[in-house]
Amino acid sequence: MATYDLVVIGTGPGGYVCAIRAAQLGLKVAVVEKRATHGGTCLNVGCIPSKALLHASELFEEAGHGFAGMGIGVEPKLDLSRMLDFKDEGVDGNVKGVEFLLKKNKVDVVFGVGTILAAGKVAVKGNDGKVVTLEAKAIIIATGSDVTPLPGVTIDEKRIVSSTGALDLETVPKHLVVVGAGVIGLELGSVWRRLGSKVTVVEYLDRILPGMDLEVAKQFQRILAKQGMTFRLSSKVAGVETTGDGVKVTVEPAAGGESQVIEADVVLVAIGRRPYTEGLGLAEAGVALDGRGRVVIDQHFATNVPGIYAIGDVVAGPMLAHKAEDEGVAVAEILAGQAGHVNYDVIPGVVYTYPEVAAVGKTEEELKEAGVAYKVGKFPFLANGRAKVNRTTDGFVKVLADAKTDRVLGVHIIGPSAGEMIHEAVIAMEFGASAEDIARSTHAHPTLSEAVKEAAMAVDGRAIHM
Distance CA 364, CA 214 (A): 8
Catalytic position from the list 65, 300, 445, 465: 445
Please choose, from the candidates 221, 154, 159, the residue with its C-alpha nearest in 3D space to the C-alpha of residue 190. Answer: 221
* DSSP character at residue 177: E
Q: Answer yes or no: 445 catalytic.
A: yes
Contact criterion met (CB below 8 Å) for 142 and 9: yes
Tell me how crowded residue 8 is: count the other CB atoms within 10 A of its CB. 34
Indicate the residue type of 445: H
- Residue 336 CA to residue 329 CA, distance in Å, equals 11
Question: φ, ψ for residue 158 (rounded to 5)?
Answer: -120, -65
Distance between CA atoms of residues 313 and 316, nearest Å: 7
CA-nearest of 130, 440, 141 to 281 is 141
**Residues linked to residue 262 through DSSP beta bridges, in sequence order:** 249
d(CA 437, CA 448): 18
| Beta carbons within 10 angstroms of residue 405's beta carbon | 11
Find, among 317, 327, 322, the residue nearest to 275 by Cα: 317
| Residue 232, C-beta contacts closer than 8 angstroms, at least 6 positions apart | 200, 201, 202, 203, 251
Q: Which residues are annotated as catalytic? A: 445
